[in-house]
Amino acid sequence: MKTIIADNLTKMFGQLIAVDHISFEVEEGEIFGFLGANGAGKTSTIMMLATALNPSAGTATVGEYDIIRERDKVRESIGIVFEDMSLDINLTAKENLDFHAILYHLSKKLRDERISQTLDLVGLKEKQNILVKYYSGGMQCRLEIARGMLNSPRVLS
> In this predicted model, what pLDDT tens digit does every residue of 67-109 receive, in sequence order?
999 999 999 889 888 778 889 999 999 999 999 999 888 999 9
Kindly indicate the confidence band of residue 154, based on its pLDDT and cuts at 50, 70 and 90.
confident
Domain boundaries defined on the chain: 2-76, 93-152
Average pLDDT over residues 36-42: 92
Q: pTM higher than 0.85 for the full model?
A: no
Q: Tell me what pLDDT residue 80 has.
A: 84
136 CB burial (10 A radius; 0-12, 13-18, 19+): exposed
Average pLDDT over residues 59-69: 96
CB 78 within 8 A of CB 50: yes
Average pLDDT over residues 31-41: 90
**CATH topology for the 2-76 domain:** Rossmann fold (3.40.50)
Task: Please say if the pLDDT value at position 1 is more than 90.
Answer: no
Q: Tell me what pLDDT residue 24 has.
A: 97
Q: Tell me what pLDDT residue 22 has.
A: 97
Name the more confident of 47 and 1. Answer: 47
Q: Tell me what pLDDT residue 8 has.
A: 98
